[in-house]
Amino acid sequence: MIISKTPLRASLFGGGTDFKDYYENSRYGYGAVLSSALDMHVYITVNQKFDDKIRVVYSGNELVDHVDEIKHNIIREALKMTGIEKGIEVIYAADIPLSGAGIGLASSSALAVGVLNALHAYKNEYVPPKELAREACHIEIECLGQRIGIQDQYAVATGGFNQYKFNHDGSVSITPVVCGRKIMDIFKSRLMLFYTGLTRDSRKILSEQSDTIQDKTEMLDNLVMTVERAFINLAEGNLDPLGYDLDRTWEIKKRFAGGVSTPLIDEMYQRAKSAGAYGGKILGAGGGGFMLLYVPDEKQDAVRSTMTGFREVPFEMDPQGSRIIFVD
């Protein structure tokens, strides 16, 4: 039996610049994202079956004779990629509801990376984080035809709080955010996470965003420079500008595609800002899921009060990426 544990992630700045159509043609030679792994996880258990059948358990339960019969697309393609065709059981569990696709924490990519990690370990293979991310990108983008970027796969495979650069030649550079522990603790203490109660299918939003990347080059260039500035501000302990940059880039993000924001999201955000939040954003493609806010300590009670009715979710940053936590 093998169990893998893979973090979800929160992307602060740069989302959209990790699409191939942008970073391959970027004036800077790369796209860039600032992202942190979270202490919310996806768990994959892999176990040998007594017979030659394949059992897959998630919010559904499948028992099939051949890998091609599996309905769960990511698990099916991961089994095919690793060459496992029979006699195995794969169980998917998570700290968030399995029906919570579309909440902006990269749960699909965490599943892809986590199941690949577990299946490789089942075969006594060690695959480093970048290779796990590359394989997950291949499954989600090439095999399944999803029109998405590549930041999520690298963020959940690698873990930690990092700047990711997606270079024009397809390589990915990963640089940890370096600042004093006290500065990082203060920064983390000023972040608040609220669940909007809305879920959405991000495919339509991301497809529209992908279709119009060439028309949004100037905005995407702006986001790359924001990542560079945020990286420096964190290193220097200059934290409040990060909150204002979240506000400015959220306004940019809302122009990427229809449905990124909604009347409810706009109302939540304005209430939070009126109560003292410097800025924030919807995590992921938009349209629902989780809202991340930057709020100075003395304003947090006021923000909580005005956000009554929306669940606040405490979190920590996870320094580790996908890992194997049990082998028997």
Residue 280: pLDDT band with limits 50, 70, 90: very high
The Cα 260–Cα 266 span in angstroms is 10
| pLDDT tens per residue, range 5-47 | 999 999 999 999 999 999 999 999 999 999 999 999 999 999 9
Q: Which residue has the tokens 């860039």?
A: 32
The Cα 126–Cα 267 span in angstroms is 47
**Widest CA span in the chain:** 61
Tell me 308's DSSP state.
T
The Cα 69–Cα 311 span in angstroms is 39
Residue 198: pLDDT band with limits 50, 70, 90: confident
| pLDDT tens per residue, range 162-171 | 999 999 999 9
Looking at residues 126-155, what average pLDDT do you find? 97
Q: Does 136 score more than 60 pLDDT? A: yes
| 2-178: in CATH 3.30.230.10 | yes
Residue 116: pLDDT band with limits 50, 70, 90: very high
The Cα 172–Cα 121 span in angstroms is 24
Question: What residue ranges of the chain are covered by domains with CATH 3.30.230.10?
Answer: 2-178
Among 3.90.1170.50, 3.40.50.300, 3.30.70.890, 1.10.3720.10, what is the CATH number of 181-312?
A: 3.30.70.890
User: What pLDDT score was predicted for residue 239?
Assistant: 98
User: What pLDDT score was predicted for residue 171?
Assistant: 97
Looking at residues 205-221, what average pLDDT do you find? 77
Task: Classify residue 167 by burial, with Cβ atoms within 10 Å: 0-12, 13-18, 19+.
Answer: middle
How many percent of the chain have pLDDT more than 70? 95
Radius of gyration of the chain (CA): 20
Residue 259: pLDDT band with limits 50, 70, 90: confident
CB 33 within 8 A of CB 150: no
Looking at residues 262-266, what average pLDDT do you find? 93
User: What pLDDT score was predicted for residue 202?
Assistant: 62
Q: Does 204 score more than 70 pLDDT? A: no
Buried-exposed string 35-73: b where 16+ CB fall within 10 A, e elsewhere: bbbbebbbbbbbeeeeeeebbbbbeeebeeeebeebebe
Q: Does 119 score more than 90 pLDDT? A: yes
Average pLDDT of the chain?
94
| pLDDT tens per residue, range 49-85 | 999 999 999 999 999 999 999 999 999 999 999 999 9
* Angle between helical axes of 217-236 and 240-253 (0-180°, round to 10): 170
The Cα 297–Cα 324 span in angstroms is 37
CB 31 within 8 A of CB 226: no
User: What pLDDT score was predicted for residue 209?
Assistant: 63
User: What pLDDT score was predicted for residue 197?
Assistant: 87
Q: Does 102 score more than 90 pLDDT? A: no
Task: Report how far apart the first and last C-alpha atoms of the chain are (Å, whole number).
Answer: 5
Question: What residue ranges of the chain are covered by domains with CATH 3.30.70.890?
Answer: 181-312
User: What pLDDT score was predicted for residue 256?
Assistant: 83
Q: Does 199 score more than 80 pLDDT? A: no
Q: Does 203 score more than 80 pLDDT? A: no
The amino acid sitting at 187 is F
User: What pLDDT score was predicted for residue 20?
Assistant: 94
Number of helices (H), then strands (E), belonging to the chain: the values are 11, 12
Q: Does 142 score more than 70 pLDDT? A: yes
| pLDDT tens per residue, range 238-250 | 999 999 999 999 9
Residue 101: pLDDT band with limits 50, 70, 90: low
The Cα 289–Cα 198 span in angstroms is 6
Residue 146: pLDDT band with limits 50, 70, 90: very high
Q: pTM surpassing 0.75?
A: yes
Residue 98 has a CB neighbour count (10 Å cut-off) of: 14
User: What pLDDT score was predicted for residue 34?
Assistant: 98
Question: Of 164, 165, 252, whose CA–CA distance to 216 is shortest?
Answer: 252
The larger pLDDT score, comparing residue 213 to residue 228, is at 228
| Beta carbons within 8 Å of 101's beta carbon, 6+ residues apart | 107, 108, 199, 201
Looking at residues 218-236, what average pLDDT do you find? 97
